[in-house]
Chain A
Amino acid sequence: MAKTALQFRHNSSDVAIFVDGGTNLLVALRELIGDMTPKFGCGQGGCGTCSVLIDGELHLSCLTLAETVAGRSVETLDSLKQGPNLHPLQRAFAENFAAQCGYCTPGMLMAAKALLDRNPSPSRAEVVEAISGNICRCTGYEPIINAILAASGDRASA
């Protein structure tokens, strides 16, 4: 099958890759670019751990055709950490024990970032809504919700 040339912004760099038709963005990121931070969970859009931001909006990379991000900006978890400094959300996750096995964490962090980028002081209900597409098997969600509220710097409740 003929490959398609694809250029887009990946975190802070411009990338150019060749993809087969039908390649999804998750595979393109992990296997062609080597960014392993978005995880493969169910591959069906049911678990949320592959979540990335496309032009600032939350998307499931496993259900996104790679070709549709041509010329757009894709942010993954890899963009959060600035050198040795954790992003405030990452720090809050660590301080609130919001990860155990950690498999959902990349998706949770991206969903949280998408929320805080558009709503810097969300209510508890808004946090719950924002991560409702993400499944966590270990934490019982409570520590994750608390971490996002702590990172928002505004603990207003619903």
Chain B
Amino acid sequence: MTRHRGRGIASINYPIGMNLGGDPSQALVHSNPSGKFTVALSSIDLGQGMKSVTRQICAETLGVPVEDVYVDTADSDTGPHCMGSFASRGTHRVGNAVMAAAREARGVMMEAAAEELEVNAADLETDGRGNIHVKGAPHRSISTKDVAIAAQFKQGKTIAGRGIFLVPLSNVDPETGEMSPATCYAHACLVAEVEVDDETGEVTMIRMDSAYELGRALNPRLVEQQLVGGAWMGVSHALYETPEPYYPDPIHGPRDFVEYVMPGPGDVCPHDIAVLERPAPDGPFGAKGPGEMCANPVLPAVANAIFNAVGVRIDDLPITPEKVLRAIKAEGGARPQARR
């Protein structure tokens, strides 16, 4: 029995969002009499932090503290329409819609403040701490709360905004086959190091090193948590998980978490991540979003690392010990490739 080390690399070019009949998301922003703002969405936060990110985007655009913004993801019956949380589209599509809605609401808020301060709205600015004042004259100031109250009870104005962000459907050119399915792309490169046991076929992750280019990281800690966790979804797809291990034959499908295998805390390995920020021209504050890309480069990198370790090329996922052993047998034994 020998354990063979191998290293594999993969680079990916990842489109943000999708192209099935156009890709829109909507958002509504309104102020409450307390001077706080509500963002209404039907987009769902699956735990990766879209609520936090849209809250930041709204607060930054309005010019108010992040504490003054509440994001209500409600549901698809009562919220403005969203295509959904998938295809890594949340930050980019929903973020842009929130930004548009917040911009419109800010316009009304500044008009209402201008009326209270008896100045021109163009001469006003927000201080980001909940006040609006005359440029160059901070003492000529009114709080966003007082503006909200004046707008509601005195001026009869709704401090509110509507936003939509649409990436229109891109049809395939029948002559050339060309299309533009996405407006921006994120990028990643990942190096996986594995150890393959040529007697059991087991693959152990030794370490990962990666670089992700995902536009501006609006919330670096949330980006990090997605990249750290998402890489293990990738490992899981590469090595463990499948509902149909003998697809297309449905036999031997897993019935529990003993048979539907996932990595446990003892399987994780060190992972060094570099985040590169190259703002996207059409992203909210330059953001693209990490999303599914967290997992994608891991699969080919692991497959390549296994080839590097024992010289077998497996293109059928997940790469189970059984497949590794059968392939090694077919090759007449492990054939470690040159260390890379």
Contact = CB atoms under 8 A, between A and B. Distances in A.
Interface of A: 42, 44, 46-47, 97, 99-102, 127-129, 131-132, 134-145
B246 interface: no
Nearest to B228: A140
Interface string B199-227: 00000000000000000000001101110
B315 interface: no
Contact of B265 (A44, A97, A137, A144): A144
Interface stretch (B101-109, B145-153, B256-264, B321-329): B256-264
A42 B257 contact: yes
23 contacts: A46-B257, A97-B224, A97-B225, A99-B47, A100-B46, A100-B47, A100-B225, A100-B226, A101-B46, A101-B47, A102-B47, A129-B266, A135-B264, A138-B48, A140-B232, A140-B268, A141-B263, A141-B268, A142-B228, A142-B268, A142-B271, A145-B265, A145-B268
A47 B257 CA distance: 7
A100 B225 CA distance: 8
A100 B268 CA distance: 17
Nearest to B233: A137
Contacts of A42: 256-257
B124 to A, nearest CB: 37
A46 B265 contact: no
Contacts of A129: 266
B62 interface: no
A139 B231 CA distance: 9
Interface in B10-63: 46-49
Contact of B257 (A135, A142, A143, A145): A135
A139 B257 contact: no
A53 to B, nearest CB: 20
Nearest to B46: A101
Contacts of B232: 140-141
User: Max chain A CB contacts within 10 Å: which of B229, B232, B233, B264?
Assistant: B229
Interface of A is mostly: loop
A129 B258 CA distance: 17
Given A46-B257, A100-B47, A143-B228, A132 B266 contact: yes
Given A44-B257, A137-B262, A144-B265, 8 more contacts: A100-B48, A100-B226, A138-B47, A138-B229, A140-B230, A140-B231, A140-B232, A142-B268
Contacts, number: 65
Interface of B: 46-49, 221-222, 224-226, 228-233, 256-258, 262-266, 268, 271
Contacts of B226: 100
B265 A128 contact: yes
Given A46-B256, A46-B258, A101-B47, A141 B225 contact: no
Given A46-B258, A139-B229, A145-B265, A97 B47 contact: no
Contact of A139 (B49, B221, B228): B228
A132 B47 CA distance: 22
B225 A143 contact: yes
B258 A140 contact: no
Q: Top 5 nearest A-B pairs by Cβ distance?
A: A46-B257, A101-B47, A100-B47, A140-B232, A141-B265
Among A100, A101, A143, chain B packs the most CB atoms within 10 A around the CB of: A100
Contacts of A144: 265
Contacts of A132: 264-266
A97 B256 contact: no
A102 B51 CA distance: 14
Contacts of A135: 257, 262, 264
With most chain A CB atoms within 10 A of its CB, the pick from B47, B226, B265, B271 is B265
A136 B263 CA distance: 9
A131 B46 CA distance: 23
Contacts of B271: 140, 142
A137 B235 CA distance: 11
Residue among A46, A138, A139, A140 facing the most chain B CB atoms (10 A cut-off): A140
A127 B264 CA distance: 12
A139 B262 CA distance: 13
Contacts of A44: 256-257
B290 to A, nearest CB: 12
A139 B225 contact: yes
Q: Which of B263, B264, B271 has the most CB of A within 10 A?
A: B264
